[in-house]
Amino acid sequence: MKGPIVTDKKSVSRELPVPSGRLTRLARFGGLASGIAGRAAIQGARNIAQGKRPAAKELLLTPANARRMAEQLAQMRGAAMKVGQLISMDAGDMLPPELADIMGRLRADAHYMPGGQLKKVLNANWGENWLKRFEKFNARPIAAASIGQVHRARTKDGHDLAIKVQYPGVRKSIDSDVNNVASLMRLSGALPKSLDIAPMLDEAKRQLHEEADYERESRYLTRFATLLRDDPSLAVPDLHENLTTTDVLAMTYLDGMPVDSLTSAPQQERDRVTELLIDLLFRELFEFRLMQTDPNFANYRYDPHTGRIILLDFGASREFTPQTVTAFRRLMAAGLARDRAAIRNAIVDIGFFDEHTKNHNQEAIIDMFELSMTPLHRPGKFDFAETDIALRMRDAAMKLGADRDFWHIPPMETLFMQRKFGGIYLLATRLKARVDLRALLEKNLTHAWTAR
């Protein structure tokens, strides 16, 4: 690249081309699958020679195989890496902790495109003379993720921008990547053969096609900016429509620090930030019926000068039907009232289980929900630093997951909602925040009822 380009010394990861061809990506999956199977065969032979007869899952689902899978998916990026991220979050309770930790690395920064590959993408979207529009354009990205990477730039008319550029070939490879990752998970033993994941795969493909459409994301960016316009505590970047395409999203650059870096901030500041994010979560569900469902901590930045939380990345935004919101409102109200019968009815309406689910599994799910409501039954502020609820929820989920009588996938929109709730809970725990959760929920439930 020639022209007003700046290259930062700081690197988010290492430069690595994105394999964009269908056959190239297929070959990567094939090599990964054969490698997993080969190592399992070698280890199996060793165990047999030692008089051991391990189960196939013990040979396939190993830290070495999980590490290799995570590394390969991170190099491929695109839907392959994104599905790995989703599995590491949504199926994490089904994996041993050390394997969940390895797969969880997929949620860290990805590798980034070399300059030549970046230039081809921008030439295709902006024309070959696009550099003339900028005073400077940082070739080294300030962030890299599964579907795209973000560059900082300044236009000739003085706008400081953050420009998200999609990796080449992402949309074309989504369906095949999702299928291939699912096959790998089957092979590795991470997913039970009896679980019908077809609905989840179909929804993953649909979601990824939506996330890969930056024009769609730009519309949700604008909607959230409008919804939160009068909130001085939250900030959403302005869209720069003239530079936005299906593969490129341009927005105002808002400076801030990672929100999870506030671990050493004063308690009052950590509490305030966490309270704002939890309140926003409830507003998204009950007031907006529109939620940004990606719980990645990188989607939140904090401006210490203004105290504002900066909201980023609206590709995973999902709208909820009035029926779904009403059912969740009833569920939360029943949970606050500790009305077990009403909880069960709301859970059935939402679809977490149905009338055919065995009684002991119904009771287990209701128990898990009541456990999740424990922080809302305590008077005053709940201390996220002094609780083992997350571990108890994990143990309960793993126990339920081990019951082959219960392999039930709830409606997809509820899974994405659960991801967001879980992500905010993890952030609150990391910040060791103290928040009056019951007061926040009651406020939003009351607003939801009066707004009907």
Q: What is the mean pLDDT of residues 46-54?
A: 40
Instruction: Read off the pLDDT of each residue in 278-282 and give the average, rounded to a whole number.
Output: 96
Q: Residue 186 — pLDDT band, cuts 50, 70, 90?
A: low
**Range 55-76 average pLDDT:** 53
Predicted pLDDT at 111: 74
pLDDT at residue 60 tops 60: no
Lowest mean pLDDT among 68-77, 167-176, 251-260: 68-77
Residue predicted with more confidence, 52 or 133: 133
pLDDT at res. 83: 56
Give the model's pLDDT for residue 43: 41
* Average pLDDT of span 135-161: 91
DSSP 8-state symbol, 263: G
Average pLDDT score over residue span 166-192: 71
Q: What is the pLDDT of residue 274?
A: 97
* Confidence bin at 14 (pLDDT 50/70/90): low
Average of per-residue pLDDT across 110-120: 84
Give the CA-trace dihedral at 370, 375, 378, 379, to 10 degrees.
-140
Q: How far is 9 from 343, CA to CA, in rounded Å?
A: 54
Q: Which residues are identified as catalytic? A: 294
Task: Quote the pLDDT of residue 341.
Answer: 94
- Where residue 38 falls among pLDDT bands split at 50, 70, 90? very low
Tokens of 319: 């709208």
DSSP, res 388: -
In contact, 212 and 175? CB cutoff 8 Å? no
- Residue at token pair 């004063």: 266
Q: Name the residue with higher pLDDT: 143 or 262.
A: 262
**pLDDT (average), residues 110-116:** 79
Is 77's pLDDT higher than 70?
no
Per-residue pLDDT at 137 exceeds 70: yes
Name the least confident of 146-150, 285-289, 307-311, 352-356.
352-356
Q: Which one has a higher pLDDT value, 306 or 351? A: 306
CA 140 to each of CA 4, 123, 146: distance values in angstroms, whole numbers, following the listed order: 13, 17, 16
396-409 residue pLDDT tens: 666 665 555 555 56
3-state secondary structure of 77: coil
Banded pLDDT at 187 (limits 50, 70, 90)? low
What confidence tens digit (pLDDT) does each residue in 319-354 have?
999 999 999 999 999 999 999 999 999 988 888 777
Q: Across residues 360-381, what is the average pLDDT?
A: 86
Give the confidence band of 110 by pLDDT, cuts at 50, 70, 90. low
Using CA atoms, how far residue 234 sits from 138, 302, 319, 436, in Å, is 27, 9, 20, 20
> Average model confidence (pLDDT) for the chain?
77
Residues 6+ apart with CB under 8 A from 12: 109, 112, 140, 141, 142, 143, 144
Q: 7 CB contacts (<8 Å, ≥6 apart)?
A: 138, 139, 140
Global pTM value: 0.77
Between 83-87, 114-118, 265-269, 354-358, the lowest mean confidence (pLDDT) is in 83-87
What confidence score (pLDDT) does residue 57 get?
Answer: 43
Average pLDDT over residues 415-421: 82
- The H-or-E segment that residue 391 falls in is helix 389-401
**At 236, is the pLDDT very low, low, confident or very high (cuts 50, 70, 90)?**
very high
Each domain of the chain, given as residue ranges in start order, spans 22-108+173-197, 256-452
Share of the chain above pLDDT 70, in %: 66
pLDDT at 28 over 60: no
- What would the mean pLDDT of 429-450 be, rounded to a whole number? 87
Between 33-42, 399-408, 436-445, the lowest mean confidence (pLDDT) is in 33-42
Compute the average pLDDT of residues 166-194. Answer: 70
Q: 144-158, 211-225, 345-359: which range is least confident on average?
A: 345-359
